Structure 1
Amino acid sequence: MTGRVLITGCSSGIGLDAARRMQAEGWQVVATCRREADIAARRAEGMECHHLELADPESITRLVRQVLSGGRLDGLVNNAAFALPGAVEDISRDALRAIFEANLFGTHDLTTRLIPHFREHGGRIVNISSVLGLVGIPWRGPYVATKFAMEGLTDVLRLEMHGTKVQVVTIEPGPIASRIRVNAIPHFERWVNWQDSARAQQYRDTLLKRLYHPSGKDRFELPPSAVSDRILRALTATRPAPRYYVTTPTWLSGVGRRLLSTRALDWVARRS
């Protein structure tokens, strides 16, 4: 099975690898990026590529018009998202609104605008969640909140699309080699006044070192191709699974949520 698939967030990491993998498998890839240089790079690779700013409804409107004017669309992979590290008590309302606009509201807006097309022609909606959509860990509250919300919204959408031509799949990566940590720095610097936080010393001892001076590859980290394998399966399987786990921490987190008490799960999360 091949077709035409829209993949968001194709500048680097998971989105870029998925776009290249699907193209190699014979799919016509419609990629999205935010920067003109990345758009030009994807087009140079033979992909159709458009600008998308998920926090901007007009940008979504333009993208949908561009995509559907090009013919039938068979799949949507909602990958674009960003992280905002920081203690929950230091996250302002505006900061939380900003990350939800991109990670959830914009993704939902794009998806619902394409559902009528998928209802008529058939199609797959693949939402890229996270291990942090299963369990929360310290310093990741805003990102965790968006992914928990995506998990719930995707589950309900899957139930509601039962009996239609639309199939809905969740993919839950864990530690994947990408630029998400580097890309989070501008958001952290914009929104988190850590110097005046009651946790200033904790920031110095933990988050700042991890954010600005990572010690190396995360334990259990896999390359983006591991996620692309699941995306390919989600788009081509006759009966795709409702969700696909990718890394060892994701499997352990899924099992832990079912078997461990909240206290036990908290103990594990504090040490992650």
Structure 2
Amino acid sequence: MARARTILITGCSSGIGLDAARTLHASGEWRVFACCRKEEDVDAMRARHGIESFLIDYSKPETIERGFEDVMRETGGTLDALFNNGAHGSGGAAEDIPTDALRAIFEVNFFGWHDLTRRAVKAMRAQGGRGRIVQCSSILGNVVMPMRMAYSATKFALEAHCDALRLELSHDTDIKVISLNVGPIRTKIRENSRAHFERWIAPLVEVSAFRSFYEKKFVPRLYGPYKKDMGELEPSAVTAKLTLALDARRPAPRYSVTWPTHAFMFLKRILPGWAFDQVTLRAMGLWPAAKKLHP
């Protein structure tokens, strides 16, 4: 009987990571290492779901090193796939984002991913130059929306990382690098971004040029009763694309998950810049320009 393939998944406490871990584990085809950033979530993953789990917190490099070593110890030094998933949002107008807020979100959404990815590549090279690296990117890694600059910047950086790594590894390995361009998915990213908004942006709202927008649209969406976004799907939609990326003999460089992702990426290709700007401003409730910022 062939051994189950091994996969390390991050950000597994809820949402996309949890659904991916449970689905692949239930398939019987994968030995899943579902990593979380909190010890209590690691314990719950083991006790409640019966899935092997270790601590990996992207903001703490020592946990990345230790967590990866723990997985390698369990597998005997091999790894068939890595699915980088954990991330957080930090919404706000570009002119309101403190530089330290950018440093903080890049540490979690990009630098930590880079650290873990490098370790996976080294292990995959050592096992004969084969494996899959799947990065959970976003529509915001291809299309910029107002009030989402910080998160979008990390995902644009990730898309560049994916492209460079894919091209480089194609030279002398069979390691495939795939980006999942996720759109609106029901996760806790909105709830989890509140603390970052409160730390970095909330103290600046009263003096912001976007004060009215924050008060009328941004804050009610962030803290109010949950309302589905247009085209929003469940995490299982991402897992379906992940499975395709893991199993396809020749996976595509990137997979779009939701119809808004397909639509906005298509419109960006065919529309002149000024027209696409109007589309994105309307989508965010900021059009006509300069008329919805003030009472």
TM-score past 0.5 threshold: yes
TM superposition shift of 1:24: 1.4
Paired residue for 2:123?
A: 117
The correspondence of residues 29-178 of structure 1 with structure 2, limited to 5 A, is 29-44=32-47, 45-71=49-75, 72-121=78-127, 122-162=130-170, 163-178=172-187
In structure 1, the gaps of 5 or more residues are none
Q: Secondary structure at the match of 1:51?
A: coil
Name the amino acid aligned to 1:104: F
For normalisation by structure 1, the TM-score amounts to 0.97
Cα offsets for 1:182-213 (capped at 9, x unmatched): 01000100111223323222210110111111
- State how far apart, in whole Å, the 1-side matches of 2:226 and 2:116 are: 37
TM superposition shift of 1:215: 5.5
Name the amino acid aligned to 2:112: G
Q: Secondary structure at the match of 2:134?
A: strand
- State how far apart, in whole Å, the 1-side matches of 2:158 and 2:275 are: 25
CA RMSD of aligned residues (A): 1.3
TM superposition shift of 1:135: 0.6
CA contact (8 A) 1:119 1:165 kept: no
TM superposition shift of 1:123: 0.8
CA contact (8 A) 2:38 2:57 kept: no
Q: Tell me, yes or no, if structure 1 residue 191 matches structure 2 residue 200.
A: yes
- State how far apart, in whole Å, the 1-side matches of 2:62 and 2:227 are: 40
Name the amino acid aligned to 1:246: V
In structure 2, the gaps of 5 or more residues are 284-295
Q: Secondary structure at the match of 2:82?
A: strand
Percent identical across equivalent pairs? 49
Name the amino acid aligned to 1:190: R
What number of residue pairs does the alignment pair up? 272
TM superposition shift of 1:46: 1.5
TM superposition shift of 1:36: 2.1
Q: RCO (CA 8 Å, sep 6+): is it higher in 1 or 2?
A: 1
The correspondence of residues 3-14 of structure 1 with structure 2, limited to 5 A, is 3-14=5-16
TM superposition shift of 1:91: 0.5
Misfit runs of 4+, over 3 Å: none
Paired residue for 1:246?
A: 257
For normalisation by structure 2, the TM-score amounts to 0.89
Q: Secondary structure at the match of 1:111?
A: helix
More displaced stretch, 210-219 vs 88-97 = 210-219
Cα offsets for 1:81-126 (capped at 9, x unmatched): 0000111111111000000000000100110112111113221000
Paired residue for 1:23?
A: 25
Choose 1 or 2 for highest CA Rg. 2
